[in-house]
Amino acid sequence: MSLIAAAVGWPILLVARDVVNIELALLTASGLAMANTGFGVLVHQVILRMIRNHRRFRSSESGA
């Protein structure tokens, strides 16, 4: 859902603020917004997985 919001919201913001016209730059900005959001989601998922694995390891250690 966040990728869709980034792909649509970022270009709308740029057009609304007269930063760019509707042209190739707008499509580029949309692509960069999707890449940026996708990278942020990826980093978040990696950190979340690391925390869960750490908790799982600690709980199995204390139960042994």
What pLDDT is attached to residue 45?
A: 96
Domain boundaries, the chain: 2-63
Residues 6+ apart with CB under 8 A from 37: 2, 3, 5, 6
What pLDDT is attached to residue 64?
A: 55
Neighbours of 33 (CB within 10 A): 20
pLDDT digits (tens, 9 = 90+) for 12-61: 887 788 876 778 877 787 788 788 888 998 999 999 999 999 999 888 87
d(CA 26, CA 19): 10
63 confidence band (pLDDT: 50, 70, 90): low
Predicted structure pTM score = 0.60
